[in-house]
Structure 1
């Protein structure tokens, strides 16, 4: 029993529907259906029939989604196996990584380490000036509306 809860806890952090989570979900929905059935027998209220139907629909949809997700994962694994047999990379990032490594190797060979460092650096544009607030205004005395007015005034000044 303790191993079930450990597997359940670990399954929460595992992507996709794990068998332990599906088992716990099914047990929970079954218990909810039993409670709704008992409440229906105790009160004869149509509300518990509606809740039971909703619960059953949700229970079915969760299991359907898990089945479809499992089928999609198996299909993806089969495609990856086929690609490995053909020698095609599994994803675009692998190709980009290879190209980037080749490019950096060519730069280092052709011009040395100084040229490679310069090729990787991009110039940074300055977008505006920083303005310092006066000490006469305390932060608490300035309202948010005043700040927005100042921002809009600064934007108008930049546009001119």
Structure 2
């Protein structure tokens, strides 16, 4: 029994649905259905029936999703074997796809039409632009005593003085 819990703990950190996670999920849903059945027998409440239907739907959808994910992984593995993709080629292809995506949030203009082979090539194309103008501190051009130049302590002092005047 302890070996199952060790496997369960290790499978939490493994991507995708593992057999241990699926077994634990199915046992948990079965226990929940049993509890709902016992509550229905004890209370004759429609709520238990509704909860049982919702539980059954969720149980089915979790198993369906796991089966679909497994089918996609097997199809990907078969495609890689068919095309003879190695782990090194897979990393290069993934990097190329990441650089090639047009819907990324960062726009990079390259001076050649080809995709660079490494990240160093991308950084060598970027030009450093010198800053224009001078930076000013916020409070320099505002007159003294404006609301933006007052500190929080000054505001609290004003509030305290107002409170003292109201108490008199």
Q: How many residues align?
A: 126
What SS is found at the alignment partner of 1:100? Answer: coil
- In structure 2, the residue matched to 1:93 is 95
Offset at residue 6 of structure 1 (A): 1.6
CA-to-aligned-CA distance 1:73-111 (integer Å, 9 cap, x gap): 0000000111117xxx44252698x9526x97xxxxxxx
Within 5 Å, give how 1:28-67 maps onto structure 2.
28-67=28-67
> Are residue 126 (structure 1) and residue 131 (structure 2) matched?
yes
* Equivalent residue runs for 1:58-77 within 5 Å: 58-77=58-77
3-state SS of 1:131 partner? coil
What is the aligned partner in structure 2 of residue 109 from structure 1? none
TM-score w.r.t. structure 2 length? 0.61
Q: Does residue 1:140 correspond to 2:152, yes or no?
A: yes
What is the CA–CA distance in structure 2 between the aligned matches of 1:142 and 1:9, rounded to whole Å? 55
Q: Which runs of 5+ in 2 are unaligned?
A: 100-114, 156-168
SS at match of 1:16: coil
Q: CA deviation at 1:4?
A: 1.4
* Partner of residue 27, structure 1: 27
**Is there any run of 5+ residues in structure 1 with no aligned partner, and where?**
105-116, 144-160
Give the corresponding residue for 2:105. Answer: none
